[in-house]
A and B are shown apart, each in its own frame.
Chain A
Amino acid sequence: MDLGALGVYTCLFMGLYFEVFLLISFFEKRPSKKSDAVPRRFPTVSIIVPCYNEERTIAATVQSLLALEYPKKKLDIVVVDDGSTDGTRTIAERFAKKYPQVRYFYKENGGKYTALNFGIEASHGDIVGCLDADSFVAQDALVESVKYLEQDPSIMALTPVMNVYRPRNLLEHMQAVEYIFGVFFKKMFDNLASISVLPGPFSLYRREVFRRVGIFRRAHNTEDMEIAFRMHAHGLKIANAHTAYVHTTVPKTLRTLLTQRARWSQGYLQNSMDYKYMYGNPRFGHFGTFTLPFGLAAFAAGLYIAGYVLYNVVATLWTRAFTLWATGIPLHFPSLSIEWFFINTSMMLFLTVAIFFMTMTAIILGARIAGVRLHAKSLAIYFMLFGFVAPLWLSRAVWNTARVRESVWR
């Protein structure tokens, strides 16, 4: 076996191990179903909506917050405009005038984390939430989240279930399945008490979190990831509210998708360096011994396999083209034999098929948790596209990290 293939087998082993580990976690503690119970008391909640040039979606975002099934007096909506130059201000001010629950603040542009910190200072709710201005919450999302906080006082922060809002083009369909896959991951990481990111769309914090660990930091433009790392470093519990749904819009073009994902991936690498002492450290539980090392390994494995496949495809095409040129044989399709003898039955193929089925299982379980229907079209697009697109942002993130170049938001 050549070294290249040995590397692929190592990646396949890690991939399988990772999925097996998560599936064991699933069967160990299956997610509960949504209940009709209501919280005994409703804590005051402040939802911060940081925005920058979001005139297309800000109205729908605020509307979805106003439609939340939650006592109006207990809900405070804080729109923090991070220096928008489009019509965001006009729209948000209209809401603030019409609805006393909505407060609007305009500040100089300083980055998302500054808008969030501004909102934390300007708000007073026991629970602080944030909602990106391109996302919309389900009506019962807040009540569902509050139930988790009430049931387990040790939970310090919560993440919801995120779905893609009305996917239309190929990339959106691909991301729709990816997000469903993510639902499974998020719940399993919850079982392992090792959720590694508190995403912008409707993550909630107890206010004391900021007292204990501090406010948001710039954190390589991934403040939602860094604060999760920091909370783990301080032994604070993060959970997943799998019955609280939020819908989010996703990048529609390859360029914006790559920019967004390269930022996330680069943030993961750079935050990993900042928190390297947590890697493999059992003091931080599964987060230190499983989530962080496997996250980095998955990063490397994704790049390695993509490089291996690319090298082999290019080498094969080059050899074929050179052979045709050197031999003078006219271009023709090789005769395809349908005999069983010539079917590829390599060990690598069997293992790839095993990974495929386990991935499918995780996606199906994720769809069940998220309560969404899986479409064959989206699945086909995901399996055809993801392997080509993901290595692009991974390699861009590595390149930018190596050059010590800051990621960009858009």
Chain B
Amino acid sequence: MKDWSKYILAFIITAAMFLTAFYLTNTINNARLADIRSVQEQIAIDLLSSETQFELLGNLDCSIIAQNPILSEELNSLAERLSFAENNLNPKNSDVERLKKQYALLEIKDYLLMEQISKKCGTKPVSVLYFYSNQGDCADCSRAGDVLTYLRQEYPSLRVYSFDYNLDLGALQTLISLRKVKADLPAFIINNRAPVYGFKNLDEMQTLIPELKDLATSTVETKL
């Protein structure tokens, strides 16, 4: 083989290996996004079903309603997937951005439904609306997220709704202005009380949510 042709052949084979690796990564990432989409569709159907069930039954039979609209597990699973996708894919990926918007909408709908059920059926869910930014302007947001993730693991019935404060989504911006959440992140709205700003460690967060005492921990599970 001519000397130069060996150099070129080696380059072509190496480049082909790089392209194969790129193709494999891209294919798997697309499969991930498809998986997120399918989970979101399932959650959307479940939410719609719960809303319809609520409309049909009103407050006639709270025991049936209380059995079904608990979507926190699915939403948590979706949150984990989205967070993974956001960290491992290009965060500016338009698919990820769109999925985040859909997720935020589902969270808002779940939150509103939970509020309605709470009023009509007298349940006492514990919820935290958590507003963060991942545009590099909130050094404490990642740690605040860790505290909430830990609390959610400890108290499976704690409902944490996390929102990207800067997400360009009308419904989310309406929620932000209705609840008068300032851009001083991280920000928390705990059980519909006034927003709390700044990083809170585990102890401070537990103090801010005294209702946690009444929630079951991950080792002992009780009904809402």
Q: Which residues of A contact B (CB under 8 A)?
A: 13, 16-17, 20-21, 24-25, 28, 285-286, 289-290, 323, 326-329, 332, 335, 337, 341-342, 344-347, 350-351, 354
From B11, B14, B20, B203, residue with most partner A Cβ within 10 Å: B14
Partner of A327 from B7, B24, B29, B143 at Cβ < 8 Å: B143
Q: Which residues of B contact A (CB under 8 A)?
A: 1, 3, 6-7, 9-11, 13-14, 17-18, 20-22, 24-25, 28-29, 32, 35, 80-81, 84, 88, 142-143, 146-147, 150, 153, 199, 201-203
Partner of A341 from B21, B84, B143 at Cβ < 8 Å: B84
Q: Which residues of B contact A16 (CB under 8 A)?
A: 14, 17-18
CB of A351 within 8 A of CB of B143, answer no
CB of A326 within 8 A of CB of B25, answer no
Residue of B nearest to A344 (CB): B88
A328 to B203, CA, bound (A): 7
Residue of B nearest to A352 (CB): B21
CB of B3 within 8 A of CB of A323, answer no
Q: Which residues of A contact B81 (CB under 8 A)?
A: 341
A327 to B142, CA, bound (A): 10
From A13, A25, A337, A345, residue with most partner B Cβ within 10 Å: A345
CB of B202 within 8 A of CB of A328, answer yes
CB of A326 within 8 A of CB of B201, answer yes
Q: Which residues of A contact B142 (CB under 8 A)?
A: 323
- Interface residue SS majority, chain B: helix
Q: List 15 A-B contacts (CB under 8 A).
A: A13-B14, A16-B14, A21-B10, A24-B9, A285-B3, A327-B201, A329-B147, A341-B35, A341-B81, A342-B80, A345-B25, A345-B29, A347-B21, A350-B20, A351-B18
CB of A28 within 8 A of CB of B202, answer no
A79 to B25, CA, bound (A): 60
Q: Which residues of B contact A337 (CB under 8 A)?
A: 80
CB of A286 within 8 A of CB of B3, answer yes
CB of A323 within 8 A of CB of B6, answer no
Known: A347-B25, A350-B24. A17 touches B202 (CB 8 A): no
A345 to B28, CA, bound (A): 7
From residue A340, how far is it (CB to closest CB) to chain B in Å?
9
CB of A20 within 8 A of CB of B10, answer yes
